[in-house]
Amino acid sequence: QHRKKMASSLLWICILLHVVKSEVCTEMTHNVCYCNGRNLSYIPDVNAETQILDFSFNYLPSLNQSFFPQLLDLKHLDLTRCQIHHIDENAFQHVRGIATLILTGNPIAYTSNSTFSELHQLQRLVLVDTGLFSIADVRMCHMTNLQELNVGTNRLLSISIPACFSKFKDFRKLDLHANNISVIRRDHTAVLGRMQNNITIILSRNPILHIETGAFRNIYLQELELRNAFVSCNASKDGLKALVGLTVEKLVLGRYYGDRASRVDDVHGSLAGLCLINFKEINLRQKEWTGRILPLFDCMSNATKVTINQGRTSFMESIQLRKTKELIITKSDIRVMPTEQLSHHHTLEKLTITESKNPIVFDYGFCDMPSLKYVDVSNNQLVTKKSWQLLFQETPNIQYLNMSFNSEANFDFKGLQGFRNLEVLDFHRTKISCVREYVDMTDLNRLQYLDLSYTGSTFTHPLSFQGLGNLRVLKMSSSLFLGDVLKHLFVNLTQLEMLDVSFSSIEHLPLESFGNLKQLTQLIASGNKLMSVDFLTNPSLLSLIRLDAAENHISAIPDNVLRNLPKTLQTLDISFNPVDCSCSQASFIVWIQNHKNIMKNWHDTYCRSDSTSTKPRVHDFDSEYCTHVVTGKILGSIFAVVFLLAASALVYKFQFHCFVLLKGYTTSQQTECHYDAFVIYSSKDESWVTGELVENLEKGVPPVQLCLYERDFEVGRSITSSIIEDGIMGSRKVIVVVSRHFVDSTWCRFEFEIAQSWQLLGGGSNIIIIMLEDVEKEMSRRVFGLHRYLRRNTYLEWKDNPISKVRFWTRLRKAVISKTET
């Protein structure tokens, strides 16, 4: 039977494996199907409504009519690197609705005239790396909706396109990168000249040797990319000149990163041709071009946007930017901020100088630049100790100032009038050397974004952010907050939407801090030492969507806080906190588990644990275990209650013994005896006690001092404590008068028991028993210890005849007076 079971489970595994294996395509969503990289030679069953089919990296040497199933909704077909050699006529008949066809990396032999004849809807055709020699080899004239043709990485010798392209109304982009184009003649560009729409042409990485002068005259292009497009510097120089009369929106020149360096000596003239081209925007990647290029900016002076990547210092020597609104210089080797060259430019609106290779000195200011709105000088290892008033003079319209990721900057915003329009100020990770206790920012009342994180700032003054009534984002990660400054710092920032106070060693965020922050949606307080998030209960936090409290010291969030969380909260991150996963916090943990949808980094929310190697996840906490523990606890408590009851019953029963035991230990040493003997007797035997016992002992010679509770006990003290403290402890001996009444009396039995306990403790009282009358054995058993006592010890028997009486009193007096045996 065992074997049968095993066989059947093996069978199931096989079936499962089969099912998994047969699912060759992954349908991400209903209409998207990925069958890539499976070396398939057929199209497996795909949803008939599939719109996107990625069938790249399979094996389809020959495509014929019956290959594609009917997929009328298909819009995007990717057949990259499927080793397609041959495509039959009508091969795409069943997928003729496609708008995008990608055939990259297939060694297609274009044999048929009607290969793509079905594809009237095509908008984008990608024939990269298909061994194409001429665009004319592909019949495309029926593709009247074509927008983009990418024939890069082929062996094309010419840029000429079929005449029918001039009728393609939406044609936008012709990508001819990495072909074998060395000559461009006027007749090659004739069709381009007839096209109405300004298209983008990419000619990068071609070995262009010669361009016929005027080949591009009166041609309008959106963009022309000529990176690494010429065989030599001479070719480049002549080629650019030959572009005379071209009008282009954006011109992209220069080299690709990592391309072989070209000759450096003749750079001077190589860009001279730029002056003959009309362009609005130029993007130049320089790197290997060295030397003085004086005409560079001359020819760029009419451009509105100039981007220079990896330029040399010498570029900056004579900047003539008549119309330039935007200047972007990245990865250059400039060492001094070109303030002198750029000052007095009235058109410049945006200036970006970032990622410079060398530390930039910024000691002289920009001056008289009334249009300047945007200044990004981040990432330059820049050091400046000058006051901002000196660095920006007569630049009243600066709205954006990004000083982040530099070495050191001053934040002496003395006289900030010049920055009245500032909206964004970013000092992220730039050390701020601040000369004063706090910066008066009251003039920056348009400021919306302020980043002072990782600047080494310390906040001591509660009014530091006074006047920033429009601030929406405040980032101050890794700051220091002294005293109770946090209570006041944010109170007037009523428009604040995002506050970042992470990694600032904050131990407590007072509830009052968020008094007026009704717009606050994001609060980031991770990496602090918070133990509680009680501040969340501040009713002002009406809009809070996200709280990041990861990496704090939070062990639990109490029920009342959980109940009063902002209603808008969608994300709560308490990962990497020492969450207390004991059953006492079970309700919190169950809350977490029930709110997985809002718990960010839920899988990194760990329980507090002593072992460093394995931290249990809150995720794995089994709350059922706690219900067991709770039942256990209930049982335990029931048991404990029962035990306590039993114990207290016992204690109650023997309370006086306990009392004596305790008392005995504490007082046995210092007890002073006031009486010779304490008499335990039943009140019903009182006549005998007063008539006989007192008469004979107290009035005899030497007199014996007796303690009788009815006569000697202080009024007002409790009888028990009197019995114990005065009677038994205060007397050297105890005389027990045993009679039937004695046996019947609870009090007497109790007193006798105490006396026995006291004697057992070595308290000293010797017990002398007088049998007033014959008590039956059965009866004596009712008094604890009496029967045994009588058996073991001698006792005095009272007999009502004169001779016995004399003997009785003599023996009794001797027993009372005799020294206490210890």
Ligand X SMILES: *[C@@H]1O[C@H](CO)[C@@H](O)[C@H](O)[C@H]1NC(C)=O
Q: How far is the CB of 286 from ligand X (least distance, A)?
A: 19
Q: How far is the CB of 355 from ligand X (least distance, A)?
A: 8
Which listed residue (1, 22, 39, 666) binds ligand X by CB under 6 A?
39
Rounded Cα distance between 711 and 714, Å, is 9
Stretch that binds ligand X, among 161-169, 460-468, 655-663, 664-672 (CB under 6 A): 460-468
Give the chain's length.
822
Q: What string of DSSP letters covers 277-298?
A: SEEEEEEEE-TT--S--THHHH
Q: How far is the CB of 400 from ligand X (least distance, A)?
A: 7
| Burial of 428 from C-beta contacts in 10 A (0-12 / 13-18 / 19+) | middle
Closest CB to ligand X among residues 461, 657: 461
Does residue 59 interact with ligand X by CB under 6 A? yes
- Beta carbons of 121 and 144 less than 8 angstroms apart: no
- Touching ligand X, residues 201-240 (CB under 6 A): 220, 232, 234
Stretch that binds ligand X, among 462-470, 495-503, 637-645, 757-765 (CB under 6 A): 462-470
Q: Checking DSSP bridges between strand 173-175 and strand 148-150, what pairing results, if any?
A: parallel
Q: How far is the CB of 222 from ligand X (least distance, A)?
A: 7
Q: How far is the CB of 407 from ligand X (least distance, A)?
A: 14
Helix (H, G, I), strand (E, B) or coil at 571: strand
Q: Residues 6 or more apart from 337 whose CB is under 8 A from it? A: 353, 360, 361, 362, 363, 364, 377, 382
The strand ranges marked E within 331-396 are 350-354, 366-367, 374-376, 392-393
- Touching ligand X, residues 685-724 (CB under 6 A): none
Which listed residue (52, 275, 658, 790) binds ligand X by CB under 6 A?
275
Residues binding ligand X: what is the number (CB under 6 A)? Answer: 37
Which DSSP symbol is given to 705?
A: -
Does residue 412 interact with ligand X by CB under 6 A? no
- Touching ligand X, residues 344-403 (CB under 6 A): 354, 378-379, 402
Closest CB to ligand X among residues 200, 395: 200
- H or E segment and range at residue 242: helix 233-242
Residue for token pair 């030497």: 702
Rounded Cα distance between 42 and 58, Å, is 9
Q: How far is the CB of 277 from ligand X (least distance, A)?
A: 8
Rounded Cα distance between 289 and 267, Å, is 6
- Beta carbons of 35 and 24 less than 8 angstroms apart: yes
Q: What is the 3-state secondary structure (H, E, C) of 32-95?
A: EEECCCCCCCCCCCCCCCCCEEECCCCCCCEECCCCCCCCCCCCEEECCCCCCCEECCCCCHHH
Q: How far is the CB of 244 from ligand X (least distance, A)?
A: 11
Stretch that binds ligand X, among 63-71, 634-642, 644-652, 675-683 (CB under 6 A): 63-71
- Touching ligand X, residues 88-127 (CB under 6 A): 113
Q: How far is the CB of 252 from ligand X (least distance, A)?
A: 17
Q: How far is the CB of 320 from ligand X (least distance, A)?
A: 9
Does residue 66 interact with ligand X by CB under 6 A? yes
Return the amino acid letter for 62.
Answer: S
Does residue 302 interact with ligand X by CB under 6 A? yes
Does residue 405 interact with ligand X by CB under 6 A? yes
Handedness of CA 178, 182, 187, 189 (dihedral sign): positive
Q: Angle, to 10 degrees, between the axis of helix 655-667 and the axis of helix 746-760?
A: 40
Does residue 155 interact with ligand X by CB under 6 A? yes
Q: Which residues pair with 433 in a beta bridge?
A: 410
Does residue 166 interact with ligand X by CB under 6 A? no
Q: Checking DSSP bridges between strand 76-78 and strand 100-102, what pairing results, if any?
A: parallel
Rounded Cα distance between 477 and 454, Å, is 6
Closest CB to ligand X among residues 232, 495: 232
Does residue 62 interact with ligand X by CB under 6 A? yes
- Touching ligand X, residues 567-586 (CB under 6 A): none
- Touching ligand X, residues 491-510 (CB under 6 A): 491-492
Closest CB to ligand X among residues 434, 473: 473
Does residue 528 interact with ligand X by CB under 6 A? no
Stretch that binds ligand X, among 297-305, 475-483, 563-571, 762-770 (CB under 6 A): 297-305
Q: How far is the CB of 592 from ligand X (least distance, A)?
A: 33
Which DSSP symbol is given to 178?
A: S
Return the amino acid letter for 463.
Answer: L
Contact positions toward ligand X, by CB under 6 A? Answer: 39, 41, 59, 62, 64-66, 113, 155, 157, 180, 182, 197-198, 220, 232, 234, 247, 275, 299, 301-302, 354, 378-379, 402, 404-405, 424, 426, 449, 462-463, 466, 488, 491-492
